[in-house]
């Protein structure tokens, strides 16, 4: 009953006159969170939830302004996601801690500096023309961010606030984010792609079918049993585990007798805020708001609630 009342209150708040997309909410929302490992459903203030998100999404001992920029974007992501109904249809909650659905959440890693960064940005969100932006972020772009169409396989028109910029995090990102390899046997590729419904044959080869002007793969061509299947780049990466095939900025594919070795650069989809880029800008003295505006075009940082 309590969860239902929370959901109703949020819906009323977002839709009622004087409390729409362009206005400030009268108070901080309360959210419900599904914990995937235990099945537990937690209720907490949104800002408390953000402590765990920033701690889960960024490494320890980073500059406070990098945490603060992440807090603004994570808060924006959350508010926009709540407007669309969250994961109520799946779990009966607003959010989950599954990174493929919403955002990471790790309350055990919360530090004093993370709390301070979240507290100092309380209620601040990024909007474009009065509407919440989609608060996309990633670890490191590989040197330059990309469009939502390419990095995420976004099906709707390209959002006007997404821009392609050089990533200042190149000098700070770990070596295994800057350049990486990922190996799969043909049996592994077959199992992973069959599980997602992309192929119904045994895979014996993978090639690049198309790239954007940066070199990010827009299409992979999978072959086997005398046939082939084209898989969109962003979907292919998710199917093969996005923590292993770290990006679609693939610089080479080596086919062997037993499998395929991918080489590439960057970690994540490459859209929106680069976390290592935020780290670099913070190290050089940029404010949280300046960091957000570096990665997003024509956005206003405004108060969603007090």
pLDDT digits (tens, 9 = 90+) for 16-43: 333 344 468 889 999 999 999 999 999 9
Q: Quick check: 44 and 31 in contact, CB under 8 A?
A: yes
Residue 268 has pLDDT above 60, yes or no: yes
Residue 6 has pLDDT above 90, yes or no: no
Residue 140: what pLDDT?
98
Q: pLDDT band for position 306 (50/70/90)?
A: confident
Dist. CA 167–CA 178, nearest whole Å = 11
Domain borders along the chain are 2-141+270-303, 180-264
pLDDT tens, residue by residue, 189-222: 999 999 999 999 999 999 999 999 999 999 999 9
In the structure, how many helices (H) and strands (E) does the chain have?
Answer: 11, 14
The beta-carbon contacts of 17-21 under 8 Å, at least 24 apart in sequence, are: 21/83, 21/127, 21/130, 21/131, 21/132
Q: What is the mean pLDDT of residues 260-272?
A: 98
Residue 23: what pLDDT?
64
Portion of the chain with pLDDT greater than 70, in percent: 92
Residue 26: what pLDDT?
85
Tokens of 219: 């299409």
3-state secondary structure of 28: coil
């Amino acid at each position: 009953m309590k969860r239902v009342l929370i959901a109703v209150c949020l819906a009323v708040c977002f839709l009622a006159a004087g409390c729409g997309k362009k206005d400030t909410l009268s108070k901080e929302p309360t959210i419900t969170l599904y914990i995937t490992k235990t099945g537990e459903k937690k209720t907490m203030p949104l800002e408390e939830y953000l402590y765990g998100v920033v701690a889960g999404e960024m490494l320890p001992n980073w500059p406070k302004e990098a945490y603060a920029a992440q807090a603004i974007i994570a808060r924006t992501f959350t508010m926009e996601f709540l407007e669309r109904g969250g994961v109520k249809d799946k779990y009966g909650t607003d959010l989950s801690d599954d990174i493929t659905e919403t955002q990471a959440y790790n309350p055990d890693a919360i530090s004093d500096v993370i709390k301070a960064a979240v507290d100092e940005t309380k209620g601040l969100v990024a909007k474009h023309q009065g509407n919440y932006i989609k608060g996309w972020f990633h670890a490191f772009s590989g040197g330059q961010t990309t469009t939502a169409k390419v990095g995420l396989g976004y099906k709707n028109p390209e959002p006007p606030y997404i821009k392609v910029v050089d990533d200042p995090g190149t000098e700070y990102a770990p070596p295994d984010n800057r350049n990486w390899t990922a190996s799969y046997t043909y049996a592994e590729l077959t199992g992973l792609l069959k599980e997602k419904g992309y192929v119904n044959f045994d895979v014996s080869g993978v090639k690049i079918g198309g790239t954007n002007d940066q070199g990010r793969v827009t299409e992979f061509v999978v072959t086997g049993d005398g046939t082939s299947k084209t898989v969109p780049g962003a979907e292919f990466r998710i199917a093969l585990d996005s923590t292993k095939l770290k990006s679609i900025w693939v610089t080479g594919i080596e086919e062997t007798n037993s499998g395929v070795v991918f080489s590439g650069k960057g970690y994540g989809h490459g859209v929106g805020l680069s976390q290592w880029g935020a780290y670099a800008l913070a190290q050089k003295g940029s404010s949280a708001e300046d960091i957000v505006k570096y990665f997003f075009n024509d956005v206003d940082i405004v108060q969603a609630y007090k």
